[in-house]
Structures are given as structure tokens and as C-alpha cells.
Structure 1
Amino acid sequence: MTPDDPQHPAGHASLASGVKNDPRSRKLDRLFFRRIWDFCRPYWTRKGGSRSYVLLALLIGLGLAATAAGGMTTLLYKEINNAVVAKDAAGYWGLTLKYIGLGGAVLAATILATYVEGYLKTDWRRWMTARLMDEYLGHRTYYAITLDGDIDNPDQRIQEEVKPVIDAFTGIPSNILNTSMNVTVQVAILATIAMPLLVATLAYCTVNAFLTYFINKPTIKQNWDSTVAEADLRFGLLSVRTNAETIAFYRGENGERVHLTQRLARAIATQWALLRYQAVVSVATSSVGLVWRLLPALLVVPLYFSGQIEFGVIAAATSAATMINVSVSSFIEFIPMMIKAVPHVVRVAEIREKHATIGTHSQAQHIGHLSRKVRDDVIGFDSFTLSTPGGERILFSNLSVEVRKGTSLLISGPTGTGKSSVLRAIAGLWNVGHGTVHSPPEDRTVYLPQRPYMVLGSLRQQLLYPGNAQVAPSDEEIVHALREACLEELVQRHPDLSAEADWGRILSLGEQQRIGFARAYLSGAEFIFLDEATSAVDVKTERRLYAQLLSRRITLISVGHRASLYGYHDFVLDLRTDGTGEVMSIERYLAHTSDSPPSQRSAV
């Protein structure tokens, strides 16, 4: 892919916040809960997921044990206070020891439950992230995201957004059950000793729940804006790293500093807005908390003064009411937690929905969809019309080309006529258009782009990428391929093929292009597509590289401008700026261009 291509990725260097910011994604509505269900269901319904249910059952069991112990401590607390009033020292110390023992059991159960919950969260994150990576790579979702530009920072979403969602929703089943059991036990106790306090406690908890929801609702948008602003900042920093050399050549540090400062300012502004509103929320919740502290004094202590209850009942009633409030509050805390999780849920769901859309629907736009046929002996097109993926522009129309196995074709023409797009159509990356594409089986083809992809790993892994060969070549074959690709010096510098390095940084573009040829030699492919694949090597090296391909009787389709490429091909597909094209023999093409005015010859 060249920078002057119609769909060069540079065209998508935009703010994440300007990519997709649908207001419908900021609500706790049916769409949100459907996305939560789609997120949770695969992990809990997967094959071999019994261990997760065992962990969840253990988590619930520990919660129930803690609930039962909590109920017993409430009753013991009453007896302990009565023993103090009665000055029953023996009874007091015996009850206190039991109280301490129950407290230790609750503490142990709580610690173990914390560990089990953490283990369950970690396992869920591992499984879900792996699944999300599979979906990101499946159906070439990553490529569709790059083309459409409608999902920002997919790498950050996969790496960072899964954990907050899991943290928010792992404890919900056990929390609901434990809260229900604990509230039931404490309500039963409180109903027998202080009914007015029970009614007031339940009313307080209900009002607190509604108040918590309504005062936290505005933070959905605030959390969304903050998440997107942070993604913008990360995107800007990543862009500097990706384009470090180009920025250095331009001396663009001041320009980058301005852009990054603007993104940082947006991130800080959203944080300040969120912080200011959280201060308001804290004031509101603290004010409501003051009401809670007054309830026992107003509703229970007068009963003791009138002689209707014992002193210990005050402590027991207060303890039971507190446990009810704590239990309900722990559930209410899921409201702001769920609200905070909204942007994380949406950002994960959008990648999954993109994958599902690609897998179940055609990507064709309003001008149609290409049909495809797998052929062993022919590459070509019948009545071929190709458009850019969004249908914005028709590149060429009604083109018919046939390249027989064992022959070679050079695609030429002025810049912007869609030369590289022909290869994208053959590879199945672009599908918008009309006509039929004839292409060989995928396992018999190799594509060599202008800038080869340098993987992270050893030199051996570099040469064997993408690792689809049924039988891996030996180290001797790898070294031989490097020498055939004019990389003798690389072999001398790195005789150990297990050496790992940042190959994209230490190898020049010319060396990277030769790495691509070495991969092609090792692949055993019968059809090779080259997109300006020798633009960074000299003519002599280019001759050696192509000679190795031709000696293997490989079918070649090349995109390029160099006149030296004519000698390695049988035919030329001459694409023109008016959307037409013509296939000619090399001899006819050269005769045609030599008869053309100089201004036309220079465009070929």
C-alpha cells in the first residue's frame, strides 16, 4: 500500500471521540443489558466451564456462612449487653469468647471469598480476552475496523476494557443471594424486637437506592467522556511512537506537543468535571447518612426509657438495622459501579458486534458485491468493476483480465488509478463492485507489500511468518533463502536464528523487502503478488530477487513503476485515469508508450 492510495491508513488519523459517540450508548437501557448478557453468557455456557461454577458455588457458600454467622453475632451482642447490665461476669466472658470465635469465622470466610472471587475474575478475564482477540482477528475484523474507522483504539479496548466489566459484574449473583439471605435474617430478628425501627430502616434503604440511582445517572456521560478522552490521549502518544522517524525528519516536535497538550487538556477537563460532580454526590450521600445515625436514637431508645425493652435490645436492634443497611448498601453500590461500567461495556461490545456483522452480513454497499471463484490455473476478472469499500469512488469499470498459470502480469498506470486495489480485490480484502474474481487457493499464494510486516520475535519466526506451512523449513533452508534474497550480511551479523530483536527498527526498508522475498521462497507458493515490493532495493538486487522467483516458475502479478520490471513480466495491465484499462503484451506496451508524448510516458 502506498501513501497516495485512496484508502491509505493515514486518512484515519482522527480523534477517537469523533469516530463513534452514539448517545444511545450512554443509557442503562435494554441495549445495555443485552450487551451485558452477550458478554457474560459465553464464559458461563462454554464447554468445560464446570470449574467456574464450582468457584461460584464456593463463593456463594462462603457468603451464606458469613450471613449465618452474622445473624448469630446479632443475638450474641444482645446477650453480651444484658450480661454487662446484670454484672454477670462469667456469662459475659463466655459470650464474648463465642462472639470472638464467630467474628474470626466471618473474617476467615471473607478472606477466602476475596481470594476465590479474585481467582474467578482472573480466569474470566483470561478467557474473555482470548476470545475477544480471536474475534478481532477472525473474519479480518481488524482490517474492517481500519477501513471503516468507526471503532477507535481496538488494542486499548481489548487490553484494558475487559477487566472493569468483569470486576463490575462478577459478584452480582453471590451478592444478590447473600444480600437477600442476610436481609431476611436481620429483618426477622428486628421484627421481633423493634418493629418501628424495621419499618424506618426499610424505608430509608428504599429512598437511598432511588437517590443513589438518580444522583449517579449523570455520571454515565461523564465516565463516557472521560474514557474516550483518555483513549484520545493514548492514540496521540501511540501515533508519535509509530511515526517517530517521520516526525523527526519534519522536526515536528512542537506540532506534536500542541496536539498532545490539547488531548491532555480534554482528558483533564473531563476528570475535573467528574471530580466536581463526585463531590456533590458525596455531600448528598453524607447528608442521607446523618438521617441513618438518628434513627435508633429516635425510635428505640425511648422504648427503653419507658421500660418496654431491655438495654441489650437497643444494641441488638441497632446491630440488626445496621446489618440490613450494610447489606442493602452493598447491593446499592452496584448502581454507581454499573453506571461506571457503561463505557467499558460499550467499547468491548462494539468490537464483538463488528465481528458478528462481518460474519453474518455481506459488506457490499449500494453498488453491489463481487462474486468469487477459486481456480487452480487462472487469475483474473470478468466484467470487473471495483469501488472503494465505502462506495465513495469507482476505481475502474468493466475490466476483464486473465493471467494463466506460469505467466506474469505487471499492473501499471498513473498514481491513484487503483493499482494496489486490484491486489486487494484478489486477496478478498475489497469486495464492493460487480463482476467475478478468479483467484487461486489461499494456501498457494503470497502477498509482498511495499513495507513488509516485521513480527515481534526471533529471526527464524520472522522468516517463517505467518507460519502456515505444513512442514516447517529447516534452519539450513532458512539460511539458504536469506542468501538467495541477497541477505548474506544479515546471516553474518545474526548467525543464531533464535536471536530476537526489533527487526522493524534495525533493518532498513530494503532489507525488510528482501525478508519478504525470503519468506516467499520458503513458502513454496505458486502465485505471488508484489505491490512495489522492490521499491527500496537497487536494480541489480531487484534482478536477482525476481530471477529466483522466475526460476521456480511462479506466477507473478506485480504493481510498480520501474521500467526494469518490464523484463520480468509477459503482460501489462495499463490502468487509466478515466477508469478503463487494457491488457497488452510487454512488446506492444513498450511500443505504445514510446510513441506517446513525453508527458504521457512519464505517467506510466
Structure 2
Amino acid sequence: MKKAAGQFWALCRPFWGQRSSVQAWLIMLVMLALGGSVIWLNVLFVQWTKSFYDALTALDGGKIYALVKEYALYILIYVFAIVYEVWFRKLLIIRWRGALTAELVDSWLAKRAFYRMSLSGRVDNPDQRIAQDIEIFVTKTIGLTVDLLLNPIQLFTFVFILWQLSGVQQITLFGNEWTIHGYLVWVVLVYTLAGTLVTHLLGKKMHGLTVSKERLEGNFRASLLRKHDNAEQIAQYGGEQQEKSHLARHFQAVTGNWRSLMNAERNMNLFIVGYTRVSQIVPVFAALPLLLNKTVTFGGLMQIRSAFNQVHIVLSWFIRVYPALIELSASMQRLSQFRAEILQHQSQQEQADAGKRLQIGSLSFRTPQGQPLLHNVAFHCEPGSWSKLTGESGLGKSTLLRTLNGLWPYYDGQWQLQEGRSLLLPQQSYLGHGTLAEILCYPQPVLAASDALREALDKVGLGAWRDRLDEQLNWDRIFSGGERQRLAFARALLARPETLWLDEATSSLDHAAARALLALVRRELPGTTVVAVTHQQELDDLFPQHYDLGRFRPA
């Protein structure tokens, strides 16, 4: 319980514990005021019930019509209060959801934690946790909190009314006569507590099933997205049957969990539905002795029934919201795990020193599973030099570039980067969404000078797109592998980094095109230090320095 409370407060504090949250607290107070007005109206409805049914019993037409007018006024106020309470609730939900989403997205993307988390694989479906679990957590928390704050007011109000209506009841039990004050209050209390206990015993299994449901649904949705993102490759391989089998396995897991959850809900609902239905008649039977003794009128019986139901509604809160509590608990657990994982991977970020040249000494790194890749790597690159890293496939050349760029966390040792900005061009560059101008300048904002963008496109052989900078298309489907690599070099020309890392950056281009792009870089960025990984041996003469990483293979 202490751990859950700590997790809950950790998720709430950034929004509710700041000075800037004054507006949120004011909205909450407005919601509570509107909720309080609903409670006051329910008190009036209880009083109105007695008057109306007594007038109905007496066939007093004049009083009945007057009470109908009074009821219409109550309903008008009631509708206003309910509608605006819901409106302010939704306003508060979207504000808190926006703040919590921004916080987690910022943390997830900060210090490249998102990349390291993808390597570890300990957290599934971050998209679902951000998009869906936050919405569930915020919505359920606000709704349940408002209920918790208003329920005591409603409880004490209607317990007081029901206590007065109950009077004093004399019962004989085991030969002894007992005097019970407010006996209807004790009836509703015992009935509700028994229902709450049974509900918890029947429903506690649902928590684990709900957590699994979120994970399995997220896995199925992620698998569908991967099929969409890689549609062309799947079609080229003719892998439709294999993909159908993968999706069928994911959905089979969803179905199995669904059936287990469905059976657990059935067992709980068998009790809850019957319990709820019986609760409608319990107050009538409980108050029947008062009616038979002519202690209360028929209108009084209906008043007791209304007050009893109001107390029962409050005391049955746990039963009514049990599924919501399970959803809240599951979402809180997933968000807390996500947040803890982010903080752990952010702590792995170490800022390398920067100096006049790139200097690597005794750097070792390994796979996420702990298998050594390269051991005691050591070399240096002078400013403006061009160096090629050689070695067989799978040796760890690309991993070395990731390590030097602060991406790979599984290493030991130190290195010094060259001062200034660096840029890594991978084998398949990320394009993203947006206009051509936006993806061309990525990850920086769009340059105001469109002429510079057009010139960069011309230089890398994409001049056909020079007048389409404002178009927004599905670029992953538009550009071929070679065109994506040309666009990456255009990004380098615009960014003008001091260090340029090339990781198979020309592998989709023919010999002539690759040489032309590298010559373009040498001409346009003469002071840039270039470190390349490439298996295109015909480009070897462009790199005066060659470093064979095979000699750093672990013994």
C-alpha cells in the first residue's frame, strides 16, 4: 500500500504540487461546488417525495400540480449542475493529461532514454503507455477523487435523515427485548458491507488480468503497425501468410486473456447485478413495519426508500467503482514502471569530453546480453581528416559509432570527441512526417532561406524536388533507399557539422553516385572530420586513414 501511494503521488505531484496548478485547484473547487449542489438537490428530492406521494394518496390535485412545478424547477437546476460538472471535469482531465503527457514525453526523449529502453526491451509498448494509460489514469483519478470528497458529505447528510426517519424500533431476540435507534441505518450498513466484501473476494483476480490485457492489446496493435510500416517489404517477399500467422498468435493471446477476464467479470457480475436489484426493494421491506404500525404514511415510506437508496449508493461506492479501481491500479503500475525505466536509462547518459581532436583510448563495449564485442579500442582522428573503420560484418563497427555518439550504454572506458557539432548518417535515415522542407532540415527547424534548401537538393541529385518543399507526403513510400541516402547528405550540407559519422551511408548507391556524394562533402565541408563504416571497397582511396577493428576483437 505504501509503495502504491508513493507511485500515485509521484505521478500526481508534477501537476498538482506546483504553483502553476492554481487554476486546476480552482476548477476542482468548482466541480466540488456543483457536486455539493447536486447533494442539496437530492435532499430536496427526498423531502419532495414524501409530500408528493402523500398528496397522491389523498388525491389532492391542487397540491400535486404545485409539487410538479416545484419538481420542474429542481430538475432545471439539477441538469445545469450535472452538465457543467461533467464539462469542468473534462476540462481538468485534458489539462492534466496534457501536462502529464508532456512530462513523460520530454523525459522519454531526453538524454536518448527512449533509444536505450528499446535496447533493453523491459518496457513494452511505450506508445500505449503514453497515449492510453495516461488517459485512463487521469480520468479515473479525477472521477474517483471527486467521489471520495463528496461521498462523506452525502453520507452524513442522508444518514442523518435516515436516522430521524427510522425512529426507535423494539425487537425481541432470544427472549430479550432490544431497543434499536436508527435501525434502518444499521440495515443499509450491514447490507452494503457484506456486498463490498463479497465483491472484493470475487473481483481481486481481475487486477492481474487487466494489466495483462493492456500489454497484450498493445502487442497486437504494435504488430499491426509494423505490418503497415513494412508493407512493401512484406509484399516483395510474399510473406502474407507468415504475417497472418504472427497476427493470429498475438490475437490468440488477446483472446485467451479476454476469456479469463470475461469469466472473472461474469462471476463478479452474477453477484453485483443481483445485489443491485435486491437493494431496490430492501428499504421497502425494512421500513414495512413502520408502515404497518402506521408510524409513517405511504409518502413517508417512499421518503425512507429514497433516503435509504442515497445512503446505499454512497456505501456501495466501492462495489460500483471496482472495475474503475482495477483500471486505475493497472494504469498506475504501467506508468510508474515506465517512469522508473526512463529515469534509470537517463542516469546512464554520460557526457564525453570534447577537445581539439577525436581521441579514443581503451574503449570496450558489449551487447545488451553482456557478450563482448570489441575490447580496448584505441585510435585518434585529426581535425579535417577522413578515416575508415574496417572489419568483418558483425564485428561491432556500427556499435562503436553508436557508442561514440552517446547512444550505446553498454561500454567501459573513455573517449574525447572533437569540439563542435557532430552528425551521424545511418544506412537508412529516418524521414519522419511533415513537409519536404521539414524533413530536409530535420532535426533542426526549417531554414527561412528556401534557396539554400533548393541548392542542397540540387547538389545531392534530388533537383526534381526543388520546387516541392511545401508538399507533405508519405515520404517513406515516396523515396527509394538511394534517394533517402541522398537526402541524408543534403542534411549534412545544411547542418555543416564539425564531425560527420557515416554508417554505410552510401550502401544503396552505385559506385559513381557514392563517390560523387563523398566528393561533394569534401568540397563543401573541407574542415569536417569524417569517420566512415562502409563495405564499398571501391571508395577506400577517399580515406587516407584506415583502422582495422579486427585487432580489437576479444580473445
The two structures have a TM-score, normalised by structure 2, of 0.92
Distance (whole Å) between structure 1 residues aligned to residue 291 and residue 13 of structure 2: 53
Distance (whole Å) between structure 2 residues aligned to residue 324 and residue 79 of structure 1: 20
Match of 1:573 in 2: 547
2:18 pairs with 1:46: yes
Shift of 1:57: 0.7
Shift of 1:86: 4.3
Determine helix, strand or coil for the equivalent of 1:382.
strand
Shift of 1:513: 0.5
2:392 pairs with 1:405: no
Determine helix, strand or coil for the equivalent of 1:48.
helix
Is 2:377–2:552's contact at 8 Å kept on the other side of the alignment?
no
Match of 2:119 in 1: 147
2:429 pairs with 1:457: no
Matches within 5 A, 1:79-478: 79-194=51-166, 195-330=182-317, 332-359=319-346, 361-362=347-348, 372-375=352-355, 377-390=356-369, 392-441=370-419, 444-467=421-444, 472=447, 474-478=449-453
Determine helix, strand or coil for the equivalent of 2:50.
helix
Deviations 1:85-140 (A, max 9, x none): 44544344333422332233222211111111122212222222222211221121
Distance 1:297 1:422, change over 3 A: closer
For 1:260, give the aligned amino acid. Answer: L
Shift of 1:144: 1.1
Is 1:216–1:339's contact at 8 Å kept on the other side of the alignment?
no
Distance (whole Å) between structure 2 residues aligned to residue 244 and residue 530 of structure 1: 27
Shift of 1:256: 1.2
Is 2:211–2:330's contact at 8 Å kept on the other side of the alignment?
yes
Distance (whole Å) between structure 1 residues aligned to residue 94 and residue 123 of structure 2: 26
C-alpha RMSD over aligned residues: 2.2
Determine helix, strand or coil for the equivalent of 1:284.
helix
Report sequence identity in percent: 25
For 2:539, give the aligned amino acid. Answer: L
Is 1:530–1:559's contact at 8 Å kept on the other side of the alignment?
yes
Determine helix, strand or coil for the equivalent of 2:432.
coil
Distance 1:543 1:72, change over 3 A: same
Match of 2:177 in 1: none
| Structure 2: segments with no counterpart, 5+ residues | 167-181
Shift of 1:544: 1.8
For 2:442, give the aligned amino acid. Answer: Y
Shift of 1:543: 1.8
Distance 1:489 1:87, change over 3 A: closer
- The structure 2 residue matched to 1:479, chosen from 436, 442, 454, is 454
For 1:444, give the aligned amino acid. Answer: R
Distance (whole Å) between structure 2 residues aligned to residue 273 and residue 111 of structure 1: 37
Distance (whole Å) between structure 1 residues aligned to residue 216 and residue 110 of structure 2: 28
Distance (whole Å) between structure 1 residues aligned to residue 4 and residue 389 of structure 2: 49
Matches within 5 A, 1:518-557: 518-551=490-523, 552-553=525-526, 554-557=528-531
Deviations 1:376-421 (A, max 9, x none): x21121122222344x122222222111102121001111211112
Distance (whole Å) between structure 2 residues aligned to residue 476 and residue 47 of structure 1: 46
Match of 1:488 in 2: 463
Is 2:460–2:490's contact at 8 Å kept on the other side of the alignment?
yes
For 2:212, give the aligned amino acid. Answer: D
For 1:482, give the aligned amino acid. Answer: L
Is 2:377–2:549's contact at 8 Å kept on the other side of the alignment?
no
Determine helix, strand or coil for the equivalent of 2:412.
strand
Distance (whole Å) between structure 1 residues aligned to residue 264 and residue 363 of structure 2: 58
Distance (whole Å) between structure 1 residues aligned to residue 509 and residue 283 of structure 2: 85
Shift of 1:331: 5.0
Distance 1:555 1:269, change over 3 A: same
Is 1:451–1:512's contact at 8 Å kept on the other side of the alignment?
yes
Match of 1:504 in 2: 476
Distance (whole Å) between structure 2 residues aligned to residue 261 and residue 408 of structure 1: 50
For 1:78, give the aligned amino acid. Answer: K
Distance (whole Å) between structure 2 residues aligned to residue 43 and residue 341 of structure 1: 18
Is 2:375–2:552's contact at 8 Å kept on the other side of the alignment?
no
Match of 1:12 in 2: none
Deviates more, 1:527-536 or 1:216-225: 216-225
Is 1:414–1:577's contact at 8 Å kept on the other side of the alignment?
no
Is 2:366–2:374's contact at 8 Å kept on the other side of the alignment?
yes
Distance (whole Å) between structure 1 residues aligned to residue 283 and residue 126 of structure 2: 53
Is 2:203–2:264's contact at 8 Å kept on the other side of the alignment?
no
Is 1:168–1:334's contact at 8 Å kept on the other side of the alignment?
no
For 2:359, give the aligned amino acid. Answer: G
Distance (whole Å) between structure 2 residues aligned to residue 309 and residue 468 of structure 1: 77
The two structures have a TM-score, normalised by structure 1, of 0.84
Determine helix, strand or coil for the equivalent of 2:358.
strand
Is 1:371–1:437's contact at 8 Å kept on the other side of the alignment?
no
Distance (whole Å) between structure 1 residues aligned to residue 251 and residue 365 of structure 2: 41
